[in-house]
C-alpha cells in the first residue's frame, strides 16, 4: 500500500493561540553568554518569563488550536521571512507527544524564554544548539518590540494510515531535512517565494532511512513529491 503524507494548509499561530511576550531583560544576548549550562541542558541567562510555563506561553483560542492536543503526525514551523526577521524552518514528528506539546516547547526556544523555577537552574526546556543563535538573532531583530510569534506559521502533515506510525513519519522527516529529491527546497519555495536560499534548518537530529519507492507527499496547494 502506498504511504502518503498529506499537508493541510499553513496557519498562523497567532490566529489560534494567545502568546504573551517574554518581557524579561536579556542583557547577555550577543555576548557569548546568553545561555548557561545545567545538568539537564542549556537555559537562557535571564529571569523566568512572565508566562512562567510552557502551557501558559501558548493558550489555544480556537477549535483548531485545541485540536492540536490530540493531533499527531509530521509538523513544520516556518519562522520569519518578513518584518525583517530571518527565515528559518523546523521539521519534526509527533508520535507519543501531541503537536501542541511539541510546538509549545519550540515557542519557548524561539523566544529564548526561561520557564524554570529559578533563574539559576534548568529552564524547563533544553535550548539546543541550533535554536540558541536563532533565538538571539530573533531577539536582536525585534529591537525591543514584543515578540509574540506573530510571523510563525504551522503546517501539519498526516499519514494515510489509521494511526501515526513512527517508522514512516521518521522516513518523511529524514527526507525533508536532507532535501531528498529537492523536497525541502520545494517546500521552502512554497513558503518563502524567492527567498528559499536564505532559509536555515533548525532541526538537528533525524533518522537516516529516507522515504522509499511509492511514498509520496501531497502539499496543500496540490503539488506533490513522489519518492523513488
Taking alpha carbons only, the member of 217, 208, 221 closest to residue 182 is 217
pLDDT of residue 118: 59
Look at the block and give the residue holding cell 518590540: 145
What is the spatial distance between Cα 34 and Cα 45, in angstroms, rounded to a whole number?
A: 5
Q: What is the pTM of this model?
A: 0.94
pLDDT of residue 211: 94
Residue 135: strand, helix, or coil: helix
Q: What is the mean pLDDT of each run of 10 residues along the chain (228 residues)?
A: 92 98 96 89 92 95 98 97 90 95 97 78 82 97 94 96 81 97 97 89 94 93 95
Q: Which three cell numbers stand for residue 136?
A: 538571539
- DSSP character for 24? S
What is the spatial distance between Cα 54 and Cα 105, in angstroms, rounded to a whole number?
A: 6
Residue 81: strand, helix, or coil: coil
Strands 88-94 and 42-44: unpaired
Taking alpha carbons only, the member of 132, 135, 142, 123 closest to residue 38 is 123
What is the spatial distance between Cα 12 and Cα 28, in angstroms, rounded to a whole number?
A: 30
For residue 173, give Cα distances in angstroms to 9, 127, 190, 204, 219.
18, 21, 18, 11, 15
pLDDT of residue 36: 92
- DSSP character for 191? H
pLDDT of residue 194: 81
Q: Is 60 exposed, middle or buried (0-12, 13-18, 19+ CB in 10 A)?
A: middle
Q: What is the CA radius of gyration of the chain?
A: 18
Give per-residue pLDDT as tens, 68-96: 999 999 999 999 988 789 999 999 999 89
pLDDT of residue 84: 85
Determine contact, residues 23/145, Cβ cutoff 8 Å: no
What is the spatial distance between Cα 196 and Cα 10, in angstroms, rounded to a whole number?
A: 17
Question: For 56-201, where are the E strands, in sequence order?
Answer: 59-60, 73-79, 88-94, 153-159, 200-201
Residue 69: CB atoms within 10 A of its CB come to 11
Amino acid at each position: 500500500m502506498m504511504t502518503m503524507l498529506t499537508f493541510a494548509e499553513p496557519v498562523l499561530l497567532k490566529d489560534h493561540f494567545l502568546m504573551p511576550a517574554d518581557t524579561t531583560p536579556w542583557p547577555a544576548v550577543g555576548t557569548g553568554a546568553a545561555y548557561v549550562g545545567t545538568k539537564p541542558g542549556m537555559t537562557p541567562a535571564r529571569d523566568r518569563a512572565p508566562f512562567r510555563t510552557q502551557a501558559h506561553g501558548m493558550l489555544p483560542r480556537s477549535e483548531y488550536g485545541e485540536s492540536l492536543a490530540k493531533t499527531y503526525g509530521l509538523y513544520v514551523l516556518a519562522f520569519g521571512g518578513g518584518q525583517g526577521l530571518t527565515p528559518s524552518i523546523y521539521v519534526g514528528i509527533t508520535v507519543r507527544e501531541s503537536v501542541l506539546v511539541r510546538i509549545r516547547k519550540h515557542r519557548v526556544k524561539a523566544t529564548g524564554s526561561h520557564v524554570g523555577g529559578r533563574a539559576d537552574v534548568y529552564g524547563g526546556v533544553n535550548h539546543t544548539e541550533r535554536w540558541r543563535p536563532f533565538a538571539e538573532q530573533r531577539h536582536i531583530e525585534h529591537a525591543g518590540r514584543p515578540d509574540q510569534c506573530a510571523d510563525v506559521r504551522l503546517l501539519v502533515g498526516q499519514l494515510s494510515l489509521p494511526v501515526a506510525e513512527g517508522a514512516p513519519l521518521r522516513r518523511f522527516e529524514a527526507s525533508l531535512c536532507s532535501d531528498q529529491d529537492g523536497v525541502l527546497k520545494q517546500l521552502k519555495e512554497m513558503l518563502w517565494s524567492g527567498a528559499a536560499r536564505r532559509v536555515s534548518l533548525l532541526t538537528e537530529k533525524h533518522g537516516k532511512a529516507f522515504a522509499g519507492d511509492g511514498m509520496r507527499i501531497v502539499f496543500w496547494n496540490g503539488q506533490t513529491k513522489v519518492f523513488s
